[in-house]
Chains A and B, each alone.
Chain A
């Protein structure tokens, strides 16, 4: 059972960078674990710290700016490109985010996020820029049932797309494996009909 999502209202962390690849989200040297836990502390490790040292936070990186907090990460286009490592989605969720907003997601990352109760919300470039223009105390509301994202301070809103099946899964905490196991007979029939 994955975690359930419905309405998320929160301040946001602005990561105004394009082409953020999964090697940045979680560098390869942290992929040696055999469980899904604890990746959050190494999220954006090499952008967060100098010399791989937690005592040397990089002052120019947004996760080190204490005025930015919240459950929503907002990033520029082509977020999550590169390696298929699901550890990237695990790290973002483990850090405390429930939603990632971008104008464009890489395919594999998007699937990985959806499979971990982390909601990727695709907005237009113009709407993204409006979010980036908000201050750190303003909140955003993401309503999965309604498929809306709202800048609460201005009331500006967009509707976002999500596959109906995936929406049901996220709202109810279902996962794909439960579904696939339930149709095993169909799968065996398919195999038996292969020539």
Chain B
């Protein structure tokens, strides 16, 4: 029977199905971090049991760590205690921790792929909704709550119901200045922030196939912003060559065996989806959000919607959103003043993102009144950026290169945007208060964010490109 990519992986990982209930899904790899794991470890300790498969568990500290002076003790007491709890829990349960100071430390969804832990055909979970990122390798990867973290720590399994299946095709060639972040913001603007709820989403089509692994990760990362249970892209030569040679990638005969399996991971031509969408890459321009959910995005040359022009899904929230954002319906977004630029997060903090920004800003200076934070996704990204001299480019432009962590994406550490200020951000959520109480977030690609850093206002990056 013809199967989708999702079904091939799903069926291989089902241990049993409860009558009229969910299935027991085996989890190959479990990522944990300091914020959503302590209560789960407490649960294990209360039961007096140890982590079932510590060698399939990878830990890092990312959400709640400072991005300056990481060599010093964490100043904020609660944050420090949370990071210390992770160190203690990992030590007691034999879990490998890439904590602060470790050369592999970084945002969990950046380090998994760059270490070669993330591989096609796997089931992967983490107590973080952006676990969908790893689906870019053709794996089933999704975010879970802390009770589920506890389930995986105790049994390496979860009880899950099979989601519905959606495929989103993007065909054709991208326009100048348009990158993968624009593709996903465009899809979100079309199907809304709840358009994929209840679905596993496979991204397909020539525009997706032509993307690098980093760019594919950006798309799958934001599949949760559509409500998707997970996002997937079938693995191909781009995937295989990205993985080959990485720290935890298979080698020798094991590589050949894995590769043969990975090559079977695609959607059969006559497999059936519950829902399909088709988009044309040529219709996409550099995107930016104006509202308070990631579906509220427009092309950078467009005007902010009015109740008459907005899609049904966001109609009721439009005036509340715009009041929060301090923006006017019907007004152009281009030219809107920006106070902060944040380039980072599990969406766009990989070496390719930093190279893209450096390539654009080289020889340019930031606008005086703008503060620009570049937060690399991992210690390895940071080291690579320095090795390539990208840090110098940023320094000359007046950008601040900080240390790895989730940072201003969620403002859990001290990297917060002040109330009322506008931040153009390469992160994934523009919810009210996401980057700090009262902060106003404009989501965009690294290129569009870099353009705003130079001009101090929302800018059509194409006008500054040669």
Contact = CB atoms under 8 A, between A and B. Distances in A.
A188 B48 CA distance: 20
A97 interface: no
B227 A164 contact: no
B461 interface: no
B172 interface: no
Interface stretch (B33-41, B179-187, B209-217, B349-357): B33-41
A165 B20 contact: yes
A165 B19 CA distance: 8
A113 B356 CA distance: 41
A31 B128 CA distance: 13
B36 A86 contact: yes
A142 interface: no
Interface stretch (B94-102, B139-147, B366-374): B139-147
B151 interface: yes
Interface string B409-451: 0111000000000000000010111100110000000000000
A59 interface: no
Contacts of B144: 84, 108, 111
Contacts of B15: 183, 186-187, 190
A141 to B, nearest CB: 25
Size category of the B interface is 35 or more
A31 B412 contact: yes
Contacts of B293: 19, 21, 81
A52 interface: yes
Interface stretch (A33-41, A62-70, A152-160): A33-41
B290 to A, nearest CB: 15
Contacts of B194: 19, 77-78, 81, 104, 106
A107 interface: yes
Contacts of A184: 155
B219 interface: no
The 5 A-B pairs of least Cβ separation, nearest first, read A165-B21, A86-B145, A112-B145, A34-B38, A115-B147
17 contacts: A19-B193, A29-B412, A35-B42, A78-B197, A78-B227, A84-B127, A84-B128, A86-B36, A104-B194, A104-B197, A106-B194, A112-B148, A165-B22, A180-B24, A183-B15, A186-B15, A191-B156
Interface of B: 15-16, 18-22, 24, 26, 35-36, 38-39, 42-43, 47, 63-64, 78-79, 81-82, 85, 127-129, 143-148, 150-151, 154-159, 161, 163, 193-194, 197-198, 224-225, 227, 229, 293, 313, 316-317, 320, 410-412, 429, 431-434, 437-438
